[in-house]
Amino acid sequence: MRFKITRHSGYTPPEDALDLLLQRLGAHRESVSFAKVGAEIWATVEADAPVSMTQDERADIGRRTVLGVVNEVCEGAPGLKSDWFAVSSAS
C-alpha cells in the first residue's frame, strides 16, 4: 500500500522539513520504502496482510506503520518534530 507524507496544515514546519525527514528516513526503513515525489514523500508499505482483512483495515495498519517510523525518526533527530507531518493514503 502507498501513503503520502506531507506537511501538516495545523503546524508551520520549516520549508525544508520534508527534505530533512527524507534524509533521516533513507530509501528504506523496516518494511517501508520512501521516495520524494514533488512536494510529498511517498511511503510504500511492503507487508502481506491476511486476505480476511478489509481494505480499510489494511490501510489503517499501513498508515500506523508509516506514522510509527516517522515518529521514531523524529524522536531522535534534533530539528524535526513528528507533529509537522501528516500521513494519508495515496490514491
Q: Please state the rounded mean pLDDT for residues 43-64.
A: 85
Lateral strand order in the sheet of 32-37 = 28-29, 32-37, 40-45, 2-7, 85-89
Q: Please report the pLDDT score of residue 58 as a whole number.
A: 87
Burial class (CB in 10 A: 0-12, 13-18, 19+), 66: buried
Q: Output the DSSP codes for 23-62.
A: HHH-SEETTEEEEEETTEEEEEE-----TTS-HHHHHHHH
Q: Please report the pLDDT score of residue 17 as a whole number.
A: 94
Instruction: Name the residue ranges covered by the structural domains of the chain.
Output: 2-89
pLDDT digits (tens, 9 = 90+) for 13-51: 999 999 999 999 999 998 899 999 999 999 999 876 677
The DSSP code for 15 is: T
Q: Please report the pLDDT score of residue 9 as a whole number.
A: 87
Q: Please state the rounded mean pLDDT for residues 63-81.
A: 93
Q: Please report the pLDDT score of residue 72 as a whole number.
A: 94
Q: Report residue 84 as a C-alpha cell.
A: 509537522
